[in-house]
Amino acid sequence: MRMYLEPIRAEGDPRRPRRFVWRKHILDVREILERWISQTQWWNQEERRVYMRVLTGEGIVEVYRSGERWTLSRIMD
Amino acid sequence: MFACLHARSWFSFLNGGSSPEALADRASRLGVKALALTDRNGVYGAARLHKVCTLLGIKPIYGAELTLDDGTPLVLLARSNDGYANLCRLLTEAHQRDRLDPRLSLDDLGEYTADLFCLTGARGSRLRNLVEERKLNEARRLLRRLRTIFGDSFFVELCHHARRGDSMDNAILFRLAADEDIAPVASGDVHYAAGEDYMRYDLLTCIRLGLTVFDAHRERPVNAEACLRSREAMRCLIPYPAAFDNAARIAEACQVELFPGHVVPPHTRLPAGVDDGAAYLRSLCRAALSRLYPHEKARARAAALMERELAVIIDLELEEFFLVVREVIDEARRRNIRCAGRGSAANSIVAYLLGITAVDPVRHRLLFERFLHRGRKGTPDIDVDFDSDRRDEVIAWMEERFGIEQTAMTATLITYRLRSALRDSAKTLGYPLPLVDRMCKAVPHAGAGQVRVYRDNLAEVAGESPLLETLLDMVERLEGCPRHLGLHSGGMVLSRIPLYKLTPVQVSANGVKVVQFDKDDVEAFGLVKFDVLGLRMLATIGEALEVIERSEGRAAPLDEAPLDEPKVFNLIRAGKTIGVFQIESQGQMHLLAQHQPEVFDDLISEVALFRPGPLQGGMVNPFVRRRRGMEPVHYEHPDLEPVLRDTYGVILFQEQILEIAHRFAGMSLEEADDFRALMSKFRDPGEMERMRGAFVGGAVARGVPPATADSVFDKVSKFVGYGFCRSHAAAFAKTVYQSAWLKVFYPAAYMAAFMQHRPGFYPLLTLEEEARRMGVAILLPCINRSGVRYDIERGASDEPWRIRKPLSSIKHVSDEDARAVVMERLAAPFSSVEDFMLRVRPARDVAEALARGGAFDGLAGDARRALWLVGVLLRRLAPEQDDTPRLALETPLVAPSDVPALEQLNSGEQVAWDFATHGAARVHPMTLIRRSLNDLEVRPIGTAYRMRSRKRFRSDPDPQLLTAGIVILRQRPPTARGVMFVTIEDETGFMQCVVLPEVQEILMRTITGPALIVQGPLHIMGNWRGLVVEQAWPLRSVAGGFSGHPSASGGQDQHVRQAEYSEQELRALSKAMRREYMVDSDGRLVVRTSGPLQQDAVTRRTS
């Protein structure tokens, strides 16, 4: 599993994205495996992060949405 | 029915983020029909949950998270009243095993599981931990064991906080439940009402765990999702419909009725052949009536009042309550324990006739409705003060009489206030501790919600930063949040049924049994609370009477003394009231100088006048001036005259509010008391306006002009809540009179008892000076004369009594040490220090303290020689040197050659040793520097009392005074608008200094010092003197550091005769002394006085 923490573009309903575009790769969503929420540093005005573990055509990736921004967190080996 | 079966409130004490009220309110808005409160190891919020749920139409369910022996929680819900009783029994058992960490094992649940639903618990529970670790076989074994214990009432709990792994864990739990044929149940495992409360929950978690917000911990939340959710939101997270159906079934099955809606007093003991409590109460009252009201006319009036009260008491089924209180009072009196009823109970003639209170409501025109009326809910408050030394005896008797399972103390909820919230929040946000201390000192005692008022103070200390905003926000959020459970000062719960049926019983830090509810909640359960308060003044009076009887051989006729003794009123009017109950403060002395009480009723006014209500409402001056005929008595409306006539048109007592609402605003007496009670509770503008409408509307309907009605309401609103009721003031006035009576007629015995119990706030130094002023000498602790307590003695019968300080007044000498000395002395007096050391074998610190404190002076000559002897003896008696038995005729342990020729203590050392060992010196420290002060023309404080006012007009200046003294009191009362009062004392007396806010700003560092030189105009009023400080200097360099407190004398046991002033200070001092000064060639400042040049008097500070 590798950590990336790079911006990623999501397409479709933010609660159920259809596809992600990362660098020049297109990652079609086949299934959302798990969803969880993280919001820890309230004293630091940290935004709520909605994490998703997603099965894509290229493998399993972990992304999160914070406000309008999407970030690629990790890619499973 | 959609139910939430697992929710913690902030009554889990730092383990829950919202109040029961907030949870219920949100539940109502989300459509939750049943809400269970499951606080950690307690049902603390049950009464509040019941109240709010009844209001909102939600079904309350009572339960708790019980901590198991491995620290994991198990959720228990009461199905019926029996189930609730079982829950309380289990919680009681857990708390009694370990006060700080209550736990039970599964084996302990045993016979107390009937009618309890058990849920396995959510994250952190034993089952969930096993599932997270994927130890599924162990999980199955646990499920089987719990099912054996709880049978069909056992459920596997599914909850989802949107944490990583929650969905998978729930899927495993659901499958396990299906495999083991156990029903699953959906729960919220709620930790706070709404998402925004998550910050408070995390902050409280950090406080509980002693972490900062920057520290990681598995118990800290990772998101804001442990809030209450709607059915739809829950179903999205927990996709098992059966689990919701089971939750609804449990909620429907829970049927608990805890709140009877009426009072259930404990059984009283009726005499043989009597089975009607009401008839017995009436017969007791009638019997007392003829004794207390011998005159027919007064008796007839009293009888009518009594019948009216009895009718109300019997209607409210409170007759047994009154009989129970009477039983307690009678028992205390039988044991010769002094007690006195106070508070609104003194409005009742029935309480007076039963001997519960000592104030005659007929004579003092007291109003029963202030105490009790038919509209009142719950039990009336009967507060009784007992001798604080013997209160425990009363409590022990009550436990024995009413049953150990039926009695416990009421709890007090300790909630966050500004300083505590600031301290805990700042520490948690990572502020360094010294900075936290300074921040806390920068704000006053106030509610946490007011923190933004003091933002600038905090910014000045901590600096501006985004973190400061976060801190303010969090402090605000802690407003009203409970921090821990405390013990009520005296509220004893007396129950007819065993308490475990209503509440778990915990053990307090000092071993007292305490219920999990505060006084209001206790009332909701229909329980009777009886305030058994300890009053040190009663202990003082009781001990003084014992000392008098022992020394004089006859009892002092205190209780029979008439209430108009001129000598007593002379003492009070002269302001010689140090040691007198309630009127010994400097503020009271000032008021006494104006008020000049002449009769007992004046003492009632005196006690009531010095309260925030009259003080802030500006009622004191009109009262005093009108009483002295300096201004006419004015009533805003003729209807107010009968109510306010005896207080010169000024509102002084709570009863007057009630009467004004009744006579002026046309309310019934019951409505009037409700109005009074509401006015004291609600201070928000909306509620106030509603009450103004009711009051003014009622008055206008009776023909009162609206402007007058408005004006009267304004006066009423300023007073309510901060004033005494007349009955309470009358009860206190009696103790005021009795303490003054003892001080006048038995000063030695009274002051000895006063020093023993110290019910006031003056230091021992001041009390000893006061005794000396009254002609009572103070004798040092003596190894052959002193006992364990303060006592009095005299040489011959014509000599005055003197106070002998006890051995235990010496620091490091405990009561046990003193008792050992006294017991050994019973055989024979000690003939020498060696004799004492051989017979008593005290510890080193005790022996040395006795020597330094002068207890051996009679045997050794002086303290330094005694200390030397003790040192030699301790070395020679040390176990390694004392292994051979000594014969009676053996040579002494100390030979004359062992003790060198020691210099006697000089006066400075003597005073320092006295202070360090027994808190006050044989001479006042100021005497040691009197000559130096005289040289500087700094006058003794006694000079102020010889000065007379020559003012003809108010604009004439007051005389100036330059004086000095040790600070004995420093106060800044909230009612004084920032003014600080500093009381200084020297060997000639004491005086209050008034430091205005603008002077404080300049002189703050100086006036917070232990001893001061002050200068300013002297206010003269009768026998009272007050100096308005214009300039002040520290006395430290003259007085050598005697701070008036023994702890401050360490290391500074020699006074310094040379002053250390900056040149600026010297100029000001010299100016104040109206003398020329010059700096000589050695840099010394020379002050030219009326006598010869005093070149050594002061020198320039060298540093």
Model confidence over B58-94: pLDDT tens digits? 999 999 999 999 999 999 999 999 999 999 999 999 9
Using alpha carbons only, give the angle B1066, B1031, B1038 rounded to the nearest 5 degrees. Answer: 55
- Is A36 close to B429, i.e. CB distance below 8 A? no
What digits encode the pLDDT tens for the residues B86-125? 999 999 999 999 989 999 999 999 889 999 999 999 999 9
How confident is the model over B953-980, as a mean pLDDT? 86
How confident is the model over B277-286, as a mean pLDDT? 93
A40 contacts on B by Cβ (under 8 Å): 220-223
Q: What local confidence, expressed as pLDDT, does residue B288 receive?
A: 94
The sheet carrying A9-13 orders its strands as A2-7, A69-75, A59-66, A49-56, A25-38, A16-22, A9-13
- Is A36 close to B198, i.e. CB distance below 8 A? no
Bigger pLDDT: A45 or B940? B940
Least Cα separation, residue B1058 to chain A (angstroms): 55
pLDDT at B617 over 80: no
pLDDT at B1094 over 70: no
B213 touches chain A (CB under 8 A): yes
CA distance B685 to B676: 16
A21 touches chain B (CB under 8 A): no
**Which of B283-297, B529-543, B728-742, B890-904 has the least mean pLDDT?**
B890-904
Q: What local confidence, expressed as pLDDT, does residue B819 receive?
A: 96
pLDDT at B306 over 70: yes
Q: What local confidence, expressed as pLDDT, does residue B600 receive?
A: 92
A37 contacts on B by Cβ (under 8 Å): 162-163, 223-225
Q: What local confidence, expressed as pLDDT, does residue B884 receive?
A: 54
- Is A36 close to B164, i.e. CB distance below 8 A? yes
How confident is the model over B252-257, as a mean pLDDT? 94
- Is A36 close to B166, i.e. CB distance below 8 A? yes
Q: What local confidence, expressed as pLDDT, does residue B1067 receive?
A: 63
Q: What local confidence, expressed as pLDDT, does residue B1035 receive?
A: 83
| Band of pLDDT at residue B528, cut at 50, 70 and 90 | confident
Q: Which residue of chain B is at minimal alpha-carbon distance from A43?
A: B470
Least Cα separation, residue B194 to chain A (angstroms): 14
A35 contacts on B by Cβ (under 8 Å): 162, 167
- Is B223 close to A38, i.e. CB distance below 8 A? yes
A64 touches chain B (CB under 8 A): no
What number of residues does chain B have?
A: 1103
What digits encode the pLDDT tens for the residues B563-614? 999 999 999 999 999 999 999 998 899 999 988 999 999 999 999 998 877 8
Least Cα separation, residue B31 to chain A (angstroms): 24
List the one residue out of B161, B116, B64, B56 whose CA is nearest residue B169: B161
Least Cα separation, residue B172 to chain A (angstroms): 15
CA distance B932 to B430: 51
Least Cα separation, residue B221 to chain A (angstroms): 7
pLDDT at B723 over 80: no
How confident is the model over B257-274, as a mean pLDDT? 83
A37 touches chain B (CB under 8 A): yes
3-state secondary structure B645-703: HHHCCCCCCHHHHHHHHHHHCCCCHHHHHHHHHHHHHCCCHHHHHHHHHHHHHHHHHCC
**Which of A1-10, B126-135, B179-188 has the least mean pLDDT?**
A1-10
Question: Which of B161, B200, B202, B469 to mutate against chain A (most A CBs within 10 Å)?
Answer: B202
A43 contacts on B by Cβ (under 8 Å): 199, 213, 429, 467, 470
Question: Which of B164, B229, B427 to mutate against chain A (most A CBs within 10 Å)?
Answer: B164
- For chain A, give the mean pLDDT: 91
Model confidence, pTM: 0.79
What digits encode the pLDDT tens for the residues B129-160? 999 999 999 999 999 999 999 999 999 999 99
Range of the domain at A58: 2-75
| Band of pLDDT at residue B720, cut at 50, 70 and 90 | low
Least Cα separation, residue A43 to chain B (angstroms): 6
- Is A48 close to B223, i.e. CB distance below 8 A? yes
Cα torsion B540, B541, B546, B548 to 10°: value is 110
Kindly state the percentage of chain B with pLDDT values over 70: 92
Cα torsion B1039, B1044, B1047, B1048 to 10°: value is -30
Tokens of residue B674, six digits = 């409700």
Using alpha carbons only, give the angle B660, B663, B667 rounded to the nearest 5 degrees. Answer: 90
Question: Which of A1, A43, A51 to mutate against chain B (most B CBs within 10 Å)?
Answer: A43
Least Cα separation, residue A38 to chain B (angstroms): 5
- Amino acid type, B314: I
3-state secondary structure of B1031: strand
pLDDT at B1050 over 50: no
List the one residue out of B880, B824, B817 whose CA is nearest residue B849: B817
| Band of pLDDT at residue B508, cut at 50, 70 and 90 | confident
| Band of pLDDT at residue B267, cut at 50, 70 and 90 | confident
Q: Which of residues 144-183 of B touch A (CB under 8 A)?
A: 162-168
Question: Which of B222, B427, B465 to mutate against chain A (most A CBs within 10 Å)?
Answer: B222
CA distance A18 to B815: 82
User: Among A34, A39, A41, whose Cβ lies nearest the Cβ of B224?
Assistant: A39
Tokens of residue B853, six digits = 């404190």
B213 contacts on A by Cβ (under 8 Å): 41, 43
Q: What local confidence, expressed as pLDDT, does residue B510 receive?
A: 80
CA distance B368 to B374: 11
**Which of B519-528, B758-767, B768-777 has the least mean pLDDT?**
B519-528
pLDDT at B200 over 80: yes
B465 touches chain A (CB under 8 A): no
How confident is the model over B168-182, as a mean pLDDT? 95
In chain A, how many domains are there? 1
| Band of pLDDT at residue B1047, cut at 50, 70 and 90 | very low
Q: What local confidence, expressed as pLDDT, does residue B358 receive?
A: 87
- Is A39 close to B470, i.e. CB distance below 8 A? no
What digits encode the pLDDT tens for the residues B815-831? 999 999 999 999 999 99
Question: Which of B206, B213, B477 to mutate against chain A (most A CBs within 10 Å)?
Answer: B213
Q: What local confidence, expressed as pLDDT, does residue B798 receive?
A: 84
- For chain B, give the longest Cα–Cα distance: 107
> Which segment, B130-139, B377-386, B522-531, B1051-1060, is predicted with the most confidence on average?
B130-139
A38 touches chain B (CB under 8 A): yes
- Is the distance from CB of B145 to CB of B137 less than 8 angstroms? no
Q: What local confidence, expressed as pLDDT, does residue B158 receive?
A: 95
- Is the distance from CB of B78 to CB of B87 less than 8 angstroms? yes
A40 touches chain B (CB under 8 A): yes
CA distances to B751, B754, B909 from B801, rounded to whole Å, are 11, 15, 28
CA distance B987 to B273: 67
Chain A to chain B Cβ contacts (< 8 Å): 39
- Is B213 close to A43, i.e. CB distance below 8 A? yes
What digits encode the pLDDT tens for the residues B885-902? 555 556 677 777 888 888
| Band of pLDDT at residue B864, cut at 50, 70 and 90 | very high
User: Among A36, A42, A43, whose Cβ lies nearest the Cβ of B162?
Assistant: A36
How confident is the model over B899-907, as a mean pLDDT? 85
pLDDT at B879 over 50: yes
- Is B470 close to A37, i.e. CB distance below 8 A? no
- For chain B, give the mean pLDDT: 88
- Is B162 close to A35, i.e. CB distance below 8 A? yes
- Is B429 close to A43, i.e. CB distance below 8 A? yes
Question: Which of A16, A34, A42, A53 to mutate against chain B (most B CBs within 10 Å)?
Answer: A42
Least Cα separation, residue B466 to chain A (angstroms): 9
Q: What local confidence, expressed as pLDDT, does residue B1097 receive?
A: 38
A1 touches chain B (CB under 8 A): no
User: Among B165, B225, B470, whose Cβ lies nearest the Cβ of A43?
Assistant: B470
Q: Which residue of chain B is at minimal alpha-carbon distance from A37?
A: B162
Least Cα separation, residue B965 to chain A (angstroms): 51
| Band of pLDDT at residue B1037, cut at 50, 70 and 90 | low
Q: What local confidence, expressed as pLDDT, does residue B1061 receive?
A: 58
B190 touches chain A (CB under 8 A): no
* Terminal Cα distance for chain A, rounded: 5
3-state secondary structure of B648: coil
